[in-house]
Structures are given as C-alpha cells and as structure tokens.
Amino acid sequence: MSRLGHIFQDRDLFKQALTHRSASGHNNERLEFLGDSVLNLIISQYLYERFPNRSEGDWTRLRASLVCESSLVGVAETFDLGHYLILGSGEQRSGGAYRASIMADALEALIGALYLELGFVGCKPVILPWFQKSLNDLDATGKSIKDAKTQLQEALQAEQLALPIYALVGTYGSAHDPQFRLSCELPDLGIKTVGQATTRKRAEQAAAEAALAALIALKQQLKTTKNDTDIAEE
C-alpha cells in the first residue's frame, strides 16, 4: 500500500494494523486506541497553528468534524482499505470489509502503527496529507465550507442510517421580523434538535448543526465506552 505515503519496515506491525478482532487475537484494537490519540494530537496542533485566534471551543468543534467516523471512512476509501483488511469468515460474509466502523478503526490502527515505527515527528508528515482535502475545506475563519445539512447527511450515509427529517415547529414574531423554529430528527438514533432563525433555511441549518454535534458526541461516547469495556475485559 504505497499510497499511504510510507512502506512499513515492520511487516508484522503493518499486518496487525489491518487485522480485525474477528480474525485473530493479535488484532488492531490496541493500535486503534493509540492511533486515535495520535490523530487527535496531529489535528489539534494543525488547528492551533493555522487558527491561532480561535477559541478552544472552536478548535474542539473543528477537530471533532475532522476525526469523526465519516471523515476517517472517507480517507480509508481513498486507499481502498477495505480490500486489505484481514477479517474472520463471519465478517467477510457480512460485508465487514466495507463497514464504516471497521474501516475507521483500521485507519486509526494504521496511524498507531505509523507512530510506533516513525515516532510523532516522523509520522505527522505522512498522516496529515491524508486529511488535506478536509483541511482545505476550512475557510479563513476555521468554519467548514460544507454546510451543516450536507455534513450531517454525509455522516449518516456513511453509517447507512436514515436521513434526517426536518419539520416546522412554529413561526413567531411579527411579519416584519419573523422567527422560524424547525426541528431536525435522526430517527435511527432518537436524536431531535431545534433551530431558530429569521428564515426557514437558516433555522434548518441551525437544527442540523445541533444534530451533527449530538451525533459526534454520541459516537465519541460509544467509542469511549467500547475502549473502557475492552480494557476491563483484559
């Protein structure tokens, strides 16, 4: 996989990064845990240096959008990573090679492996270009060029989840200064948010942004719970 930008010297480490737990006890879960931390640090440093005047909250929001599962899957797909994954027979039959969570975990495991082989200084220039397209989508203020509705739809599609449902909750204010309140529901996840603005379009965007934040927080919570469970089982 020369497209990664690095040829592993430690082939066993490379193989481990691509091995799902369904295939072997010597799998990529530990590397995934390490890679998640390494990637967060790489992206955090990038945002800190590129947007020095932004707040900690802005950096956190941007980092979450760049390292979320849908973003990782997008990178994995550019490498056709699913083709190289080592899976158990059950996962192979069920199409696990192209399941979003498995691809995202494998990409993080590769990052962990790169860190072990090259160190932080060495792995950073290999990994950062993988995310260059997403990084280029950030404008000078640190805001993604893609609107919240588009980001939300792409995130849900990556997980093969139902698309959001938008509905008008109510209209308030005078005819000269109306306020629209719209809801955004993610039916498969039980998430429902509300946005309010002077136009329906802006209210939808506000509701979508809140739903996207809730989705990212939910994924992070589930991932933390999974890591804690894996550690407890060991």
Catalytic residue among 32, 69, 105, 108: 108
58 a catalytic residue? no
Three-state SS string over 70-113 comes to HHHHHHHHHCCHHHHCECCHHHHHCCHHHCHHHHHHHHHHHHHH
3-state secondary structure of 168: strand
Cα–Cα distance, 152 to 163 (Å, whole number): 9
Q: Which residues contact 231 (CB under 8 A, 6 or more apart)?
A: none
Q: Say if residues 198 and 205 touch (Cβ distance below 8 Å).
A: no
Phi, psi at residue 226, to the nearest 5°? -60, -45
105 a catalytic residue? no
**Beta strand residue intervals within the chain, DSSP E:** 165-173, 178-186, 191-197
Catalytic residue among 29, 36, 91, 209: 36
Active site residues: 36, 108
